[in-house]
Amino acid sequence: MAGEPLSVLGACHHDCPDTCAWEVTVEDGVATRLRGSPSHPVTRGSLCPKVNRYLDRVYHPDRVLTPLRRVGAKGSRDFEEITWGDAIEIIARRVRERLDQGRPESIVQFSFAGTQGLVQMGETIDRLFDLIGATDIRRELCGVSAFRGAARVLGTPYSIDPESMRQARTIVLWGTDTRMTNRHLWPTIEAARHAGATIIAIDPIRTETARAADVHLQPRPGTDVALVLGIVHVLDRDGLIDAEWIDERTSGWAELAASASEWTPERADEMCGLPDGTVAWLAPLLATQTPTAFRTLIGPEHRRGGEEILRAVTMLAAALGSWQNFGGGLARSTAAWPETALAGTPRIPRPAFNMARLGEVLTEEDPFADTLVVHNCNPAVIVPDQNRVIDGLSREDLFTVVIDQFITDTAAYADIVLPATTQVEQLDLAPSWGHMYLALNRPAIEPRGQALPNSEIARRLGAALGLEDEWLYRSDEQVIRDALASGHPLLEGITYESLSERGWQRLAVPAGARLYIDEIPGVANERMRLGALDVEPAAAAHSPEVDPRYPLTLISRKQVRTFLNSQYGGFADHRPPVGEPLLQIHAEDAHARGIRAGDRVDVRNERGELTLTAQISDQLQPGLVAIPFGWWNDSTPQGRSVNALTNAAVGRGDRGSAYFHDTYVEVTPHP
């Protein structure tokens, strides 16, 4: 006789600010329904189009359910099934050989945010590679330049609670497509608008969010700092700065004002390509129609000077004193809140390189790396300078292990593929970088086939290597309990038991508290650091210093709602009806090249070439083209995606986000 259906509470693990709470219905051990938890204050029972079909992923016929060993050429996707015992021993033998040779650094751990839960993203498996002494990566492909830019002004860059933005009367969405990539914040923005707020989108592309805003300002790409300096010029000139706030709460105002002195609103309008009078209108609105909230995420950081852009936007909010009224301030990533509160596993320092440089590292002359372990990531799709990445993965002397649920474009080049559990099969704690709630994800079903969570794979490999370490062998539940036992005031009232019962809980931030103004237990109020701002020479000249053969600027966009990131870009039922990525190009640029809508075109630069179908779009400015991010490599005749073209350069000291948007191409009709 069939048992009664069970409802199991959990949370989405994807790289998304929303971290939706969900409920899984289980009947006779099978997950039959997944829906958003209606009680969650932010996600309110709705999931996004990709996660609505998450159970199709769990039960997909192509899912990897046993360990696999490569038997064909790299890239052939020709594997045979092996046992877990054999797989672990093969990997352990390789690791022992490198350790015996005194070369632990030749082993590279490559992972990112495919799973963002505390446990399965890395707490246990990171500890394994720390103990081995393997080379790590700087996980700075996105997010870190934005963090660093804000931190240079605020110290620890805590975001205001995004829910408080409903109290704002001016909301500036700066380089972020909220309706597409942060859908559960939009009702808060609409609530503010209904209460009288003005919604301003600042974006070089007329995105879905820009079309829904009250005002869309469309500056030239990379000119954001000039826009900030023009606003500051007007604020200073017209006496719109609160001198008492500046004196008591900030430093460096004189330097900021001096750097803005030459940036008249007319000069800023011209630099940014905005209509005359735009800056003169915007500056007093920001200063007087308060509270003023600035929302920005990672879009502006993906270029040379990206960190300075986020520093400038943060500095503008600080100069305005935006935090003085509840609902105002900077709403960036909320990740600093849980990261401050939760106790982490102790880390052991090891060598590292910026993950954007994977292609360079794997293909350099006499490369140091000969063993690569990939988890929570698909670098053959997401890392820039894709052709070099795939050339590196094709090396016969590179022993590659991939932990995944499917044969991704990266797993196709693996020597060993290990089957990973899905979120409904594993235990995890889900912090959010888009709101103030923690959620506990309970496993709803037993792992399918022989799939294992990352944490258990790490424990098994550690045991095979003879590692003795109490941190490595903790159960997943104990890792979560230890994290919650930090004693930080933000975790008051939050325990493993309370999360098990409720599914989610809000961090203990006092209601109505003004960040950086009021006392919040465990959160420091630091003096905000203003200072001089510099406009990048490339932005000032309106033209990059690039080969004139490539006159168009390329932006890779998250614009396919049913996958956004790469996890679903390889599945036909998640792709849009057109079935392929399109090149968006302005009519002026298309006409100059003899290109019409629907034509096949070649997009090329010194790094690669793609053949795509042209879409004439008024969303773009002349000189700017766009290709969506996240498609797998079988989507083009070349077997490559947009990252075959993108720029892998990073900032000084091998730090910061990749310069994806400092990519220049030419587009010609396909012969």
Burial label for 512, CB within 10 Å (0-12, 13-18, 19+), is: exposed
Q: What is the mean pLDDT of residues 450-463?
A: 98
Helix or strand or coil: residue 3? Answer: coil
Q: Where are the alpha helices (DSSP H) in 59-111?
A: 84-100
* Residue 550 · residue 663 · CB < 8 Å: no
pLDDT at 584 over 60: yes
One-character DSSP codes across 221-244:
TT-HHHHHHHHHHHHHHTT-S-HH
Residue 540 confidence class, pLDDT cut points 50, 70, 90: low
User: pLDDT of 372-405, one tens digit each?
Assistant: 999 999 999 999 999 999 999 999 999 999 999 9
How far apart CA 8 and CA 34 sit, in angstroms, is: 9
Tokens matching residue 163: 């829910």
- Checking 538-541 for CB contacts under 8 A at 24+ apart, the result is 538/222, 538/304, 538/305, 538/662, 539/220, 539/222, 539/223, 539/225, 539/226, 539/271, 539/305, 540/226, 540/271
Q: What is the CA 287 to chain-centroid distance, rounded?
A: 31
Residue 394 Cα distances to 107, 205, 272, 398, 483, angstroms: 17, 37, 43, 8, 40
Q: What is the mean pLDDT of residues 649-665?
A: 94
The correct CATH number of 68-141+349-490 out of 3.40.50.2000, 3.40.50.740, 3.90.1300.10, 3.30.450.40 is: 3.40.50.740
Residue 630 Cα distances to 176, 270, 569, 578, 590, angstroms: 17, 34, 5, 15, 25
pLDDT at 542 over 50: no
pLDDT at residue number 566: 86
According to CATH, what is the number of the domain 6-58? 2.20.25.90
pLDDT at 548 over 90: no
According to CATH, what is the number of the domain 144-332? 3.40.228.10
Q: What is the CA 310 to chain-centroid distance, rounded?
A: 15
Q: What is the mean pLDDT of residues 398-423?
A: 98
In this prediction the pTM is 0.96
Q: What is the mean pLDDT of residues 131-141?
A: 97
Q: Report whether CATH 2.40.40.20 matches the domain 543-669.
A: yes
User: pLDDT of 566-575, one tens digit each?
Assistant: 889 888 889 9
Greatest Cα-to-Cα distance within the chain, rounded to the nearest angstrom: 80
Helix or strand or coil: residue 448? Answer: coil
Q: What is the mean pLDDT of residues 165-170?
A: 98
pLDDT at 66 over 50: yes
pLDDT at 79 over 60: yes
Residue 563 confidence class, pLDDT cut points 50, 70, 90: confident
How far apart CA 441 and CA 9 sit, in angstroms, is: 6
How far apart CA 561 and CA 582 sit, in angstroms, is: 14
Domain ranges of the chain: 6-58, 68-141+349-490, 144-332, 543-669
User: pLDDT of 469-520, one tens digit each?
Assistant: 999 999 999 999 999 999 999 999 999 999 999 999 999 999 999 999 999 9
